[in-house]
Amino acid sequence: MKSVPTIDAHHHIWRLDDLPWLSGPQVPRIFGPYAPICRDYSIDEYRGDIAGLPVPSRNPCRTLAPGRYRRHIGRAA
């Protein structure tokens, strides 16, 4: 099968310290069990995960800290 170059248009890199909902007790969520992601996921790990795949480009987005995001949404409403 021929390998097709892919642009990774959406991926997440996170630090557990920045995501309190991943640090606390697990509660049922619409997306199911999430224990496997209750840890840091660094850019180095992401690069390792895509190593050897034809991903010539990616499109990372930097998110706002949760509190800043809520204030941003409040001002926009």
SS (H, E, C) the chain: CCCCCCEECCCCCECHHHCHHHHCCCCCCCCCCCHHHCCCECHHHHHHHHCCCCCCEECCCCCCCHHHHHHHHHHHC
Quick one: how far is CA 22 from the chain centroid?
A: 12
pLDDT in tens, 54-68: 877 766 565 555 556
Residue type at 33? Answer: P
- What pLDDT is stored for residue 72 in this prediction? 55
Percent of the chain with pLDDT over 70: 73
Percent of the chain with pLDDT over 90: 5
pLDDT in tens, 19-29: 888 888 888 88
